[in-house]
Amino acid sequence: MAQAAAPPDLYAMLGRKAPVLDIIDVGAMDTGDAPPYAQLLRPGLFRLVGFEPIPEECAKLNARARPGQTFLPHFIGDGGEHTFHLNAAAMTSSLLATNHALVDRFHNLGELMRTVSSRRVATRRLDDIPELTRADFLKADVQGAELQVFRGGRRLLERALVVETEVEFVPLYKDQPLFGDIDAELRAAGMLFHTFTGFAGRAAKPVLVRGDPNLPVRQFLWSNAVYVRDFTRWAGLDADDLLRIALILHHQYGSYDLAALALLHHRAKGQTDLWTPYLTRLTGAPPQPPSL
């Protein structure tokens, strides 16, 4: 399907029918980049609970919090006690120890991931936190401990609609679960892989690309992976959840094809026909609905 015009503003199309989104951010530190739900922070239309265990970073987030945002200083994991490794670059800190045998082979990794202090901490499971009742959008970025987060949040994951998680393809941390492990866990929870948001890596020493130590050659090391509730089973979702999926995929990822599919299922439930005007705007012509 070719896109013939600028995509519509789906929030504007829905108007007062736009549902509130429940967003969970595990690893909410402000790294200077927009969070992967920035397009969904519409006033009055979201509730966000974020977790950032480094006290100074959590305080910064709460000082700038908008209405609807709450940040808590919890370590999210499997509910057990673990060693937290505070690294030279705070954003690389982890419940797992740095795998220097690997990261020191690449430019500008070992230095950032050098541990400056360690301490024992108690983790909390997502499923045990009373502030969390649902996860329309769940983001996880905890430097190799994402599998702990998902295993401690299986109740929430049963109804999660979209998940974006950092994944690694090689073990940057010792005994780290990799992309395949994360994929298996999320598929078991009824999610399907949707897309990667980009790939990151470094050049192996001593090769340097254009003098920039942050540029890779071909060895990608990590990415963010996006999963959606199994789209072959959307007929079983309620109408508002279908709208939530459409809003997230349309506005955050530009995934107009799956957003349209969600709107088609929404129409099939006897709801207001949003699919026809949506497709008409995208293609420039009134569409013929396919069978579901």
What's the CATH number where 144 sits?
A: 3.40.50.150
95 inside domain: no
User: What's the mean pLDDT when you consider all of the chain?
Assistant: 95
**pTM of the shown model:** 0.95
Which of the pair, 292 or 86, is modelled with greater confidence?
86
- State pLDDT tens for residues 180-206: 999 999 999 999 999 999 999 999 999
Arithmetic mean of pLDDT, 267-271: 94
The residue segments making up the domain with residue 33 are 10-79+126-283
**Exposed/middle/buried for residue 51 (C-beta within 10 Å: 0-12, 13-18, 19+):** buried
At residue 16, does pLDDT exceed 80? yes
155 inside domain: yes
137 inside domain: yes
138 inside domain: yes
Cα-based distances in Å from 209 to 93, 110, 199, 202, 218: 27, 18, 16, 9, 11
259 inside domain: yes
105 inside domain: no
54 inside domain: yes
Arithmetic mean of pLDDT, 76-93: 97
Q: Give the containing element (helix H, strand E) for 196.
A: strand 191-201
Specify whether the CB–CB gap between 229 and 245 falls below 8 A. yes
How confident is the model at residue 5, as a pLDDT?
61
101 inside domain: no
Q: How many domains does the chain have?
A: 1
